[in-house]
Chain A
């Protein structure tokens, strides 16, 4: 009971903090090009681009120090949009990089030992739990970065592909049956 109150209070504090901090943070002017690049990056924060998050990669792109095809979660579409923004040629994703289907991490509740290691690894604070208590991943906030998988000492976190359902289903591109006009 007490720990539950603590957890709720902690969540409240964190959320309050986010709000207060965001209002300050977004008043200051940042480099507009970095912001524009960052707006295109998917914010998965997975580090697959070789930078410790999307913002650092955005900064490197803006400075011309990194190529535009290093972000697998953004996929070819992301590369295309970056190319448009920067006025350069689009190109395929870098060697060995492939976008994976969108997934979220799931903690096996029976195996979790409440070690808090995954909480520290999660770049977006999508995991809630206190020491020695079962942890839960808030699916709507999980970016699918997989950073929480390696630290877990009991291997209880797995990635689950987000299934297509009647809500996120999309109409397909109409099949072209163009007649060639001579």
Chain B
């Protein structure tokens, strides 16, 4: 196998720390008494709860249904009873709570009847619908709903890339999965090929995982190519892996599908196999627990398992633990609340101590050495983006393609001044998003306000015109009395009576409700209220007369 590989610019070689957790087989977790299943486990709209408090549920039963296009379903990890549907701790850098269904397990772990699917006989769109109901989302960390990525649309996806690079230090869940479950994983890839109709299939694995490479080579049929790629962080980034394997560059601000390539994580392929061939929804995933714990390794963890229980299963933290990281040390975040559960996005939990993860060194001024730019795999100029993000000049930061930054952390890793560059970029990005939201809200409000002003003016004009017409008529009638009485009288009489009735009713209504906040008002407000009252009476009269 002699595929020419391409080398992306930049990248770094952080210590791998893989051996701490990749030496032991994947372990099962004991059944817990309580699971917390968040409704938002994927990119897009959160799932909508379809169970109620008190409901009995079975393993695999739908707890939340996909809501909208970019969404996917969420399922019960075991059998039991729904004891709450409320905001709970979530694995999110903010530490904020998010809506979750809490299940008290009954210990029986009974499941719904899983229905395997004969996918070869199924047309791809029916297959995609099934995958949406099964709750599949990308398990590499981005958790984009898989059924959307399996829809080629108008674009032809000629190449399907499986991402087994696992470039982040410490994480080994994909490594163990490929070593132990390669044949099933390959069947998942076949389902993907069926949905996308791709001719070329490339499985990229970093060369620091020889066992995984061997296992995948043994399992893959001849029309899938297992490629060893050099170990270089972030070689598992979607754009970087695509470039390494094919030499094709993903356009700025675009996706790899724009150039006919789709990338999936190997864990997603395995879960797809279970969802389609076994009929089991996505209710578990492999999670690495490593760092300062007694028994680091990989566990098959049910979605909804509190992270504190995962730590317990790994023998508990060792004395001197100083914190927890969700994800890897380069792109992950500090866990705020260990009651937060494992979700589809959580691939690793690292227990920190002060030796492995010393506190952040003091930040020095940027010396514009350019080391960050050399390390950046996205060919950006981090020091410029940093300069403007720090000054909160977001427009300029954006003009340096801030949104092409994949937050890989290479720049901060090499910076001799220890500047937490990525923290600045994340800050700037979320400020820009907030402004976009505000701006579109303001634009809408402007249009609606202008329209209201326009409408009121039009109503005023129309009324004035009507008045003028009526006045003319009266004038004409005055000059010709006999005709006037015939034309105006019955109508005017009726109107008068209606007006009188309406006024009386309004009076009564006024007496019956005691408006607490319309007493002792300053004259300006009183005048406003009077005006509004008058307008309302007028409106009511009009409606009455048309009825």
Contact, CB under 8 Å: A153 / B518: yes
CB-CB nearest in chain B for A116? B536
Interchain CA distance A169-B437 in the complex, whole Å: 12
Residues of A contacting B429 in the complex (Cβ-Cβ under 8 angstroms): 171
Decide if B442 touches A153 in the complex (CB within 8 Å). no
Pair B513/A113 contact, Cβ less than 8 Å: yes
Contacts A131-B543, A171-B427; A45 near B449 (Cβ below 8 A)? yes
A90–chain B nearest beta-carbon distance, Å: 13
Complex Cα gap A153–B536 (Å): 14
Chain A interface main SS type? loop
Q: Given A173-B427, A178-B365, are A21 and B452 also a contact pair (CB < 8 Å)? A: no
Across the interface, name the chain A residue whose C-beta is closest to B454: A21
Whole-angstrom CA separation of A22 from B529 in the bound complex: 30
* CB of B71 to closest CB in A, whole Å: 14
A153 interface neighbour in B423, B424, B451, B513, Cβ under 8 Å: B513
- How far is A150 from B536 in the complex, measured between Cα atoms in Å? 16
Judge whether B363 and A177 touch: CB under 8 Å.
Answer: yes
By size class, the interface of chain B is 35 or more
Interface residues of B in 406-462 (CB under 8 A from A): 420, 423-424, 426-427, 429-431, 433-434, 437-438, 441-455
- Whether B532 lies near A117 (C-beta < 8 A) is yes
- Residues of B360-377 at the interface with A, using a CB-CB cut-off of 8 Å, are 360, 362-365
Task: Give the CA-CA distance A167 to B441 in the complex, in Å.
Answer: 16
Number of A-B pairs, beta carbon distance below 8 Å: 121
Contacting residues, chain B, for A121 (C-beta < 8 A) = 532
**Cβ of A43 and Cβ of B442 under 8 Å apart?**
yes
B95-137 vs A, Cβ < 8 Å mask (1 yes, 0 no): 0101000000000000000000000000000000000000000
Name the residue in A25, A174, A176 with the highest tally of chain B Cβ atoms < 10 Å from its Cβ.
Answer: A174
Tell me the smallest distance from the CB of A165 to a CB of chain B, in Å. Answer: 6
Contact A166 B449 (CB under 8 A): no
- CA distance in complex: A178, B361 (Å): 10
Expressed in whole angstroms, the minimum distance between the Cβ of B74 and any Cβ of chain A is 15
| Minimum CB–CB distance for B31 against chain A, Å | 29
Contact size range, A:
35 or more
A126 vs B445: C-alpha distance when bound (angstroms) = 9
A179 and B364: CB pair below 8 A?
yes
Query: For the complex, is A27 an interface residue (Cβ under 8 Å from B)?
Result: no
> Which chain B residues numbered 509 to 531 have a C-beta less than 8 Å away from chain A?
513, 515-518, 525, 529
Q: Is the CB of B364 within 8 A of A153?
A: no
A63 at the interface (CB under 8 A from B): no
Beyond A113-B513, A150-B517, A155-B517, whether A125 also contacts B423 by CB under 8 A is no
Minimal beta-carbon separation of A42 from chain B (angstroms): 6
In the complex, whether B535 has a CB less than 8 A from a CB of chain A is: yes
Contact of B455 among A17, A169, A178 (CB under 8 A): A17
Within 8 A of B (CB), among A22-46: 22, 25, 38, 41-45
The answer to whether A166 and B40 have CB atoms under 8 Å apart is: yes
A122: nearest residue on chain B (CB-CB)? B452
Give the CA-CA distance A121 to B424 in the complex, in Å.
Answer: 43
Q: Are the CB atoms of B451 and A120 closer together than 8 Å?
A: no
Across-interface contacts of B448 in A (CB, < 8 A): 18, 124-126, 141
Contact B447 A18 (CB under 8 A): yes
CB 8 Å contact bits of A84-100 with B (1 = contact, 0 = none):
00000000000000000
Please determine whether B451 and A18 come into contact, CB atoms closer than 8 angstroms.
yes
The verdict on B217 contacting chain A, using a C-beta distance below 8 Å, is no
Report Cα–Cα, A173/B424, bound state, in Å: 7
Contacts of A150 in B (CB 8 A): 517, 525, 529
Which residues does chain A contribute within 8 Å of B86, judged by CB atoms?
none
Within the complex, what minimum Cβ distance (angstroms) separates A152 from chain B?
7
Q: Does B155 contact A (CB under 8 A)?
A: no
Closest chain-B Cβ to A89's Cβ sits at a distance in Å of 18
- A54 within 8 A of partner (CB): yes
Hey, which bits of chain A sit against chain B, CB under 8 A?
17-18, 21-22, 25, 38, 41-45, 53-55, 113, 115-117, 120-126, 131, 141, 143, 150-155, 164-166, 168-174, 176-179, 181
23 contacts between A and B (CB under 8 A): A17-B451, A22-B447, A22-B451, A25-B450, A38-B446, A116-B539, A117-B532, A117-B536, A120-B535, A131-B543, A141-B445, A150-B525, A151-B532, A153-B513, A153-B517, A154-B515, A155-B516, A155-B517, A166-B40, A168-B434, A170-B431, A171-B93, A178-B363
Known: A18-B448, A166-B98, A177-B360. 17 other contacts (CB 8 A): A41-B442, A54-B449, A115-B536, A116-B539, A117-B536, A120-B535, A150-B529, A151-B529, A166-B40, A166-B92, A166-B94, A166-B96, A168-B437, A169-B96, A171-B423, A171-B426, A179-B363
4 shortest A-B CB distances, which residue pairs?
A: A153-B515, A43-B445, A43-B442, A124-B448
